[in-house]
Structure formats: C-alpha cells, structure tokens
Amino acid sequence: MRVLIPGAGTGAGNSLIRSLRAGDRGVVTIGCHDDRFFLKKSTADANYLLPPPGHPAYAASLRHAVRVAGVELVIPNTDPAVRRFSTLRRGLGCRVFLPPHAVLTLCADKYRLTGRLAAHGVPVPETYPLRNRRDVEAVFDRLGRRRVWCRLRTGGASRGAVPVASAAQATAWIRYWEEMRGVPAHAFTLSEYLPGRDFACQSLWRDGRLVLIKTVERLSYFGGGSQPSGVSSIAALAKTVIEPAVMDVSRRAVEALGARISGAFSVDLKENTRGVPCVTEINAGRFITMMNLFDLTGRHNMAATYVRLALGERVDIAEPYDAAVDHYYVRDVDTVPAVFHADDLFAGIRDARVSATRSSHERR
C-alpha cells in the first residue's frame, strides 16, 4: 500500500505515519508539504515538495506526485487539508476516503452542526448565534447562567474560545477580536458552559455502518495554561476509557449527518451539570492529533483499518466498540508522544519523594 500523507513533518503527519507503520509494516508512506523546513522533518519513506495550496500549479503538482510515487490513497489529516482534498477528489488519480463535501461544510460550522444534532435528539450545549455585540446581553439573559462559553463558529484548537461570567466580559472579548484580529461579532456564539469531564471519540464508518469506535478522556491540555480558556482540544495527557454513554452519543451524532456515511469522524464531547456527554464539535474526515492513543492500544489499529476500508477491502469487526482501559498518552514540545499502560508508568523509576512526617523529623 502506498499512502500519501499531506502535512508530512508536522506532529500530526509524523504521528499518522507512526500509527500506520505500527498497524501494517508493509505500508509505504509518501509525504508531501509546501514548506521545505517541515518536510525535512518528515519520517515518510519518500517526500515531495509542493507549491502552496493557493498556487495555480498546486493541483497539477499534487497529481504529478501521486502519479510518480504510485500513490493509492491520500489521508488528509487537518481540517483545511480535508476540505482541499474533498474538492480535488475526482481528478486526483488515487483514492480519497472522505464524507460528502456537504457534510464537511456542515461540521465546519459549529453552530449549524449544533442545530442539526439537536434536531436529531443528540445532546448538545444550548447555543445561540450573535449578529453583533448588541445581542450579547439578550443572549446572556436567555441562557440564564452565571458562566457562559463564548467561541468562534469555525476553527480549532479553542481559537477565540473563553468562559465568561458576564455580558460585559463577553462584549469586551468580542470587541478585542473585532479590533485586533479582524474577526466580526457574527462569527461568535454564546452557549451553555459544560463543567464536566472532557472526552474524544474517534470512529470509522463505511456506507452508513459503524466499523470501529474508541473513546478517550482528556486530563490536561497542551498549552492550556497560556490559553484564556484554560483548555484546548489538544491534550497533553489523556487516557483510554470505557464510556458507553460517550460512545452512544458519538454514534448518534455521526448518524445524524446523513445516510450511508463513510470515513473517519472525531467527536469532541463534554459533560453538562447532569453528567450527560454533549457534543461540542465533530472533525469530519480526519483523525485527531492524539491518534497514536487510538492506534497503539486495543485490539484494532484504527489508522490501518482506515486504509483497508478506503481501499475497499473486507473488514469484519464483530464488536465495533474497541474499549481498552488504563492506557495513557503523554505529549510535550519536541518529544515523540508516548503511550503507556498504567502498570508501566513507574517501571524504571525510583520514588525519591519524602513524606511530610519524615521531612519534619529530619528538620528537627
């Protein structure tokens, strides 16, 4: 199998290559990027430099790389790349295993997505759009809560997201983005603040059939301390969990997107005050950045299964919910993400922690 990895050399690109190799040593990875510095860091078997996506020769250069490298499948793994390859899928010269473009467009708008899911009975946070800053106070009153979540309708990594305790705080935050970042007020929503546990659920589908699904819980956030929100969709520490309710809500959410759906879907959920997991967004067509936790644990490697589905191979998994417990994912700057089982966390580590009683005794 010869697979093209856009964004090669980035953390997400190299993690995807790691997952694919762990699932099938016969896979040949072909990396591509328009930035030669990132491409130099690629762990792919071969790499191709492309012009920027907006360049007139981008599509022709991509098709040339696909043909020369003998690529059978491309796996875009960022939202912009997913949308880009969705528009190019017919003339690319290789397979693309993506949902319909209309589904990608729907999921890109978090407010529209929330409305679709709510109409299908899927738990979501109560959410309202803004037309301008004058709407903030009325929406705040309608929500009737002491804390409200303010965020952009589009984008990822918690961009523009912050919890606010008053209409004045929300107005000031939106004004900042208008004046300093050129983002209009109508790009924001205000919604119910979800205080509970934070989950991610990744699943694979073919022709409307759920093939494989896994659940993890985020425990801390990469760069969360420097974010105004204090959180991010990018986990620094996460663990595998068995959460049937999270799995069920995620399954229903993907089913609400349309019949005969195919591809990868990564669903973010957070618990409300009653402990009900609510969908906050869906990254349609791609894996999430901590994909190694889904691929290096459990019975089935999700990235390798994706390739088999995309190439039309028969995949028979009797129980789609592949629940593996007590595996931890740890990530930091300039290190390869690590996956450990709880039993191995202290292997090779000597405990030098001194008890408070002993420390007090030694001081005397």
Q: What is residue 103's predicted lDDT score, i.e. its pLDDT?
A: 97
Q: What is residue 227's predicted lDDT score, i.e. its pLDDT?
A: 67
Q: What is residue 221's predicted lDDT score, i.e. its pLDDT?
A: 87
Residues 250 and 290 in one domain: yes
Q: What is residue 145's predicted lDDT score, i.e. its pLDDT?
A: 73
Residues 186 and 211 in one domain: no
Residues 147 and 204 in one domain: no
Q: What is residue 6's predicted lDDT score, i.e. its pLDDT?
A: 96
Q: What is residue 117's predicted lDDT score, i.e. its pLDDT?
A: 98
Tens of pLDDT along the chain (364 residues) come to 999 999 999 999 999 999 999 999 899 999 999 999 999 999 999 999 999 999 999 999 999 999 999 999 999 999 999 999 999 988 899 999 999 999 999 999 999 999 999 999 999 999 999 999 999 999 999 998 789 999 999 987 778 899 999 999 999 999 999 999 999 999 999 999 999 999 999 999 999 999 999 999 999 987 656 666 667 778 899 999 999 999 999 999 999 999 999 999 999 999 999 999 999 999 999 999 899 999 999 999 999 999 999 999 999 999 999 988 999 999 988 888 999 999 998 888 888 988 766 666 666 6
Contact indicator for 298, 242 with CB cutoff of 8 Å:
no
Residues 216 and 305 in one domain: yes
Q: What is residue 362's predicted lDDT score, i.e. its pLDDT?
A: 63
Residues 64 and 47 in one domain: yes
Q: What is residue 158's predicted lDDT score, i.e. its pLDDT?
A: 76
Residues 180 and 266 in one domain: no
| 327-330 and 73-74 strand pairing | unpaired
Q: What is the DSSP string of 188-205?
A: EEEEE---S-EEEEEEEE
In the block, which residue shows the tokens 């860091």? 41
Query: What's at 270, amino acid-wise?
Result: K
Domain edge (last residue) among 192, 212, 240: 192
Q: What is residue 315's predicted lDDT score, i.e. its pLDDT?
A: 95
Domain CATH for 291 = 3.30.470.20
In a domain, residue 263? The reply is yes
Contacts of 313 (CB under 8 A, 6+ apart): none
Domain edge (last residue) among 192, 219, 241: 192
Alpha-carbon distance 94 to 4, whole Å?
9
In a 10 Å sphere around its CB, with 0-12 CB exposed, 13-18 middle and 19+ buried, how is residue 244 labelled? Answer: exposed
Residues 188 and 202 in one domain: no
Q: Residue 53: which domain range? A: 2-96
Tokens for 334? 């300039």
Alpha-carbon distance 326 to 313, whole Å?
31
Alpha-carbon distance 201 to 186, whole Å?
29
Domain CATH for 184 = 3.30.1490.20
Q: What is residue 224's predicted lDDT score, i.e. its pLDDT?
A: 58
Domain CATH for 15 = 3.40.50.20
Considering its fold, how many domains does the chain have in total? 3
Q: What is the DSSP string of 276-315?
A: -EEEEEEEETS--TTHHHHHSSSSS-HHHHHHHHHTT---
> Which of helix, strand or coil describes residue 97?
coil
